[in-house]
Amino acid sequence: MSTSPLAEVEKPVGIARLRDFVTSLADLLAEPREEAEILDTGSKLLARLVAHDDWLPEEFTRPHPDRYQQYLLHCDSRERFSVVSFVWGPGQGTPIHDHRVWGLIGVLRGSEQSERYTRAPDGTLRSLGAPEVLHPGEVEAVSPRIGDIHRVWNALPDRPSISIHVYGGNIGAVERATYAPDGAAKRFISGYASGLLPNIWDRSNRA
């Protein structure tokens, strides 16, 4: 019996890791919790996920020649959280931007740099210091409470990097903003790079 091309997407080795992460995070958010607890426990869960590079389907690892890719991996049915893979080609990055919800960033492959900003009294944006570098397995957090404005780029000049981002909402539908250095904001809604989702719920392959 022939199989569709989608079959390979639905049943990659290790997809159970993503399923376990999604269900564990849903359990965490099932009860009202302070944001600090969500970020602390969520960081540990994400670190466990990105400690292994054997579960992300190939379709969600492909860079684009001109811009970074934001692939949706899962969105909670109540839009309490979403999980995406960010794929950065060499030299690719974001403008300065915000999120307006809490977020966790874990590097799966390669290396990622981020530079945080704060708004000065005159409305301009001021860098908070030298860019931070995240390596595979490392996780950082953002939120309007602890700092929400940054720019991010691939730290590697010769190959793609991939990070897994988790947000406290459906990030592809959240109205956010990019910023010029003078603080001028431009609203945007990011959407997603692909309409295809990995099937994490099929247990027939014992993944």
* pLDDT, tens only, 116-129: 999 999 999 999 99
**Sequence ranges of the binding site:** 97, 99, 150
Q: What mean pLDDT comes out for the span 17-42?
A: 97
Portion of the chain with pLDDT greater than 70, in percent:
92
Mean confidence (pLDDT) of the chain: 92
Q: How high is the pLDDT of residue 27?
A: 97
pLDDT band at 205 (very low <50, low <70, confident <90, very high): low
* pLDDT value, residue 90: 96
DSSP letter string, the chain:
----THHHHHS-TTHHHHHHHHHHHHHHTTS---HHHHHHHHHHHHHHHHT--S-S-GGGS---SSS-EEEEEEE-TTSS-EEEEEEE-TT-B--EE--SS-EEEEEEES-EEEEEEEE-TTS-EEE-SSPEEE-TT-EEEEBTTTB-EEEEEES-SSS-EEEEEEESS-GGG--EEEE-TT--EEEE----S-S--------TT--
Residues 6+ apart with CB under 8 A from 11: 199, 202, 205, 207
Nearest CA-CA partner of 72 in 57, 85, 89: 85
Cα–Cα distance for residue pair 138/111, rounded to 1 Å: 10
CA distance 143 to 111: 22
CB 198 within 8 A of CB 186: no
pLDDT at site 179: 97
Greater confidence, 204 or 158? 158
> For the chain, which domains are there?
6-188 (2.60.120.10)
Question: Which residues make up each annotated binding site for Fe cation?
Answer: 97, 99, 150
Query: Considering only CA atoms, which of 201, 143, 192, 147 is closest in space to residue 171?
Result: 192
